[in-house]
Amino acid sequence: MSKINLNMLRELKASKARFFSITLLLALAVFVFVGLKATTPDMNQTMRHEYAQANLADAQLSNSLGFSSSEITDIQNDKTVKSISKGLQTTSLTSDGKHVIDIISIPEKISKLVITQGHQPKKSNEIVLGEQLKDSYNIGQKINIEHNDDLKSKQFKIVGFATSSAYMKKNNLGQTNLGDGKIDAFAGVKKSSFTNADPNILQIKFKNLSGKAYQDKYEYALRHKVTHLQNKLNNLSEQRRNNLVSDIDDKINQAQATQTVLSKQKALTSNDTALQTLNNKQAELADQINQAETQKDTISQLEYTAQSRGQFSVGYSDMGSDAKRITGLSNTFPIFFFAVALMVSFTVMRRMVEEKRVEIGTLKALGYSNYKIASEYYLYAGLTSIVGTIIGAGLGLIILPKVIFNSFAANYVLNDVYLTWHITPVLVAFVLTLLSTVFAVFLAIKPLLAQQTTVIMLPKAPTTGKKILLEHLTWLWNKLSFSRKVTARNIFRYKGRMWMTILGVAGSTAMLITGFGMQQSLNKMVPVQYGEITHYQLLGVFNNKAKNADDYGKK
């Protein structure tokens, strides 16, 4: 090894603290930057894996009565639809009143369930529960539900647990008027467990949808297609309503015709018993006509709904916006870390070159070229950058996305975060570190080497002392002890040092306050909202279309 290289190597060994303090500080800045930059795409990729594994539908169509086969064919033939999966769904309360469950028929191809324990139901009295309930029930147990017209049985044997990309949250999976108003979990049963044959849920995959989940390309295109399908559904539902209503009208007409006949009959009879029978029949018919009218009201509220992923999948939108939130953070937080790291390493590298002034001069006197002398320092600086970037990026790519994802996913039922490489932020971070190391050396060594060799070999002339402003306040100045005076002078003499200290402390304090502030603000939200702002425990809504609406308020 050449002696000039050996010299730098020995310098490295002799000042390990300096080398490692710069390296680790840079590593920290790189860690935060690369880690945060990697988090959003990693979170999105993780979700995309979930969706791919389940083959999550692009859209879900639903209606309370169920879709007829001709309606399904109509939808299938729509030019935007690639494939449809038919399913049934109903909501039930458990007999012990503790859980409200969305029970669905096991999806075959689209929006599949992923079995995490046990196996799929093989018989119609078997059930697979969502992971949301894995702490409340065991495999092999029986689960009882309150009577539900849609299901053949009230008791099921639990044969497994599963996850679903349509029900990703751990709780509060939707609103219902059963139990406490919130859906707690989903569960899967065989189609044969349902009483009704007409599917009331259609899972849709669209043609010509490019882009990935959460990309604008995908989400905007999806919205268009869903709107298009909704229009189609509006037509279908109108037809259905009209058909149903005309059926009922027919029945009403028939009943009214019978009423007329009965009235005529009544007019012709004088027999009391016969009259009584006729009156009874008329009352029955009147009842039936009333019921039919009510039915027409209910039918007028029949809607077919088309929902995009953000609407039917509980957790889809939230996870997307959670990931996006981190992007904002990744553009601001690292600035502080880098600012502090850059300032410190900049100062240290410059000081190192200044310290070695006489040695640099000696080498120059011996006949070493500026290039050869400077390259040693560039090597040292470059090494801190490289090592710092490797450590920071390595840890950042692994730790931060995992930690952040897990904190968001704590309330979800999801697999582990999916980590990937992100070269661009690593390269950007590396260049930034070079600014504070290699560039710092450049700024210090270039003017130094430009001087005459004999000047370099002499120690640097100290800067002349200056009186500071405070000294003009003689009454105050005279009260200070000598040490205090020296301190005051020093603060202003070494301005660079002063600013570094102030900015460094300011930046670090800002970050601490931000962190704690955020934590405290978020913790305050629930008590303030539900303790001070919202004072009710229950909300009741008047349904002015109800049968007894007019009776409300009367005694």
Partner 1 sequence: MQMSEELIRLSNVSKIYNAHQDNEVRANDDLSFTIKRGELTIIVGSSGAGKSTLLNTLGGMDSVSEGEVWINGSDISGFSEKQRTTYRRQEVGFVFQFYNLIPNLTALENVELANEIAQDPIDAKEAMKSVGLGKRMNNFPPQMSGGEQQRVAVARAIAKNPALLLADEPTGALDYHTGKKILKIFQDYVNDTGKNVIIVTHNSLIKPMADHVIEIVDGKIKQDVFNDHKIPVEDLEW
> Interface with partner 1 by CB under 8 A: which residues?
2-4, 6-7, 10-11, 14, 358-359, 361-370, 452-454, 457
Cβ-contact 275, 266 below 8 angstroms? yes
Would you say 295 or 362 has its CB closer to partner 1? 362
Question: Would you list the DSSP string of 268-314?
Answer: H---HHHHHHHHHHHHHHHHHHHHHHHHHHHHHT---EEEEHHHHSB
Of the pair 183, 456, the CB lying nearest partner 1 is at: 456
Alpha-carbon distances of 506 from 27, 219, 344, 500, 509, rounded to whole Å = 20, 42, 14, 10, 5
Helices (DSSP H) in 301-369: which residue ranges?
Answer: 309-312, 316-355, 357-366
Pairing of strands 126-130, 155-164: parallel
Residue type at position 52: A
**340 and 403 in contact (C-beta within 8 Å)?**
no
Q: How far is the CB of 20 from partner 1 (least distance, A)?
A: 18
Closer to partner 1 by Cβ: residue 431 or 455:
455
295 alpha carbon, distance to own chain's centre = 43
d(CA 353, CA 348): 9
Residue with Cβ nearer partner 1 (218 or 368): 368
Nearer to partner 1, 126 or 376 (CB): 376
CB of 378 to partner 1, least distance (A): 18
CB of 462 to partner 1, least distance (A): 19
Kindly give, in sequence order, each residue whose CB lies less than 8 Å from that of residue 463, ignoring residues fewer than 6 positions away. 493
Q: Is 477 left (phi over 0), alpha (psi -120 to 50) or beta?
A: alpha
User: Which residue, 244 or 457, has its beta carbon nearer to partner 1?
Assistant: 457
Query: Nearer to partner 1 by C-beta: 358 or 403?
Result: 358
Q: At what angle are helices 357-366 and 438-450 packed, to 10 degrees?
A: 60
C-beta of 379: minimal distance to partner 1 in Å? 15
For the CB of residue 11, give the shortest distance to partner 1 in the complex, in Å. Answer: 6
Q: How far is the CB of 362 from partner 1 (least distance, A)?
A: 4
The smaller minimum CB distance to partner 1, of residues 11 and 78, is found at: 11
Q: What is the smallest separation between the CB atom of 452 and partner 1, expressed in angstroms?
A: 6
Q: In whole angstroms, how close is the CB of 13 to partner 1 at the nearest point?
A: 9
φ and ψ of 478, to 5 deg: -70, -20
Residue 327 in tokens: 């992007």
